[in-house]
């Protein structure tokens, strides 16, 4: 199975440094733009199934991507939700708060078991297909650590997932192959286009001046 794991676009809460956990989260203007760029990147992939966290920020991102795959069903599931941050949900990401409140948050071990159990079910159903998961930064890191056969704490060694970051993994019963991790090259397309156009305009101007 080819597994594509993507994070949702930037939210209003992300921009304010708010921990979201199981809160829905709302894509801001930049997040919607990022989701559209993600959709363009994945539009030529033959995606057989789409599974998304049922939280709004991931679900809305998945719907934007799915516009290029009208015959592919989206399933919104709780198993792909972000880690439940307990009383810390909705609070600023301040280190003192983390130390004080994470006692009633979902543990990394529980989160990994949750997402690994779901992945195992999806693998049995789509063993020879391409599947897209749209989820969250912590969720995606838990999935990656599980696929690599690493303990939950391994996520601390991985880079934080960027907005709409893409991870591609080839999964089989013998071993799993990482194709790409935390890749957001699709967000640079417009920047590259701008520079290419500027370079073209500059060379055109120099040509006119010299002739």
C-alpha 142/C-alpha 114 separation (Å) is 9
The closest alpha carbon to 71, from 46, 36, 52, 39, belongs to 46
Q: How many CB atoms lie within 10 A of CB 207?
A: 9
Q: Which residues contact 115 (CB under 8 A, 6 or more apart)?
A: 79, 80, 139, 142, 143, 146
C-alpha 43/C-alpha 138 separation (Å) is 25
Q: Which listed residue (8, 69, 136, 186) is catalytic?
A: 8
Q: Which listed residue (10, 13, 69, 82) is catalytic?
A: 82
8 has catalytic annotation: yes
82 has catalytic annotation: yes
| Residues recognised as catalytic | 8, 82
């Amino acid at each position: 199975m080819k597994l594509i794991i993507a994070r949702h676009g930037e939210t209003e809460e992300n921009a304010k440094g708010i921990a979201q956990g199981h809160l829905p989260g709302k894509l801001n203007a930049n997040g919607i733009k990022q989701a559209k760029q993600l959709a363009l990147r994945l539009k030529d992939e033959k995606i057989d199934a789409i599974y998304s966290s049922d939280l709004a920020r991931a679900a809305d991102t998945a719907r934007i991507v799915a516009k290029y795959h009208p015959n592919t069903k989206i399933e919104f599931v709780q198993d792909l939700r972000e880690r439940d941050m307990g009383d810390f949900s909705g609070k600023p990401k301040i280190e003192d708060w983390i130390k004080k409140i994470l006692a009633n948050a979902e543990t990394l071990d529980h989160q990994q078991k949750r997402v690994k159990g779901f992945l195992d079910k999806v693998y049995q159903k789509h063993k020879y297909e391409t599947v897209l998961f749209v989820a969250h930064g912590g969720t995606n890191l838990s999935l990656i650590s599980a696929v690599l056969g690493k303990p939950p704490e391994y996520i601390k060694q991985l880079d934080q997932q960027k907005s709409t970051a893409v991870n591609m993994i080839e999964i089989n019963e013998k071993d799993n192959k990482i194709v790409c991790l935390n890749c957001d090259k699709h967000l640079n397309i417009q920047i590259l286009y701008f520079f290419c156009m500027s370079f073209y305009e500059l060379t055109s101007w120099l040509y006119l001046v010299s002739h």
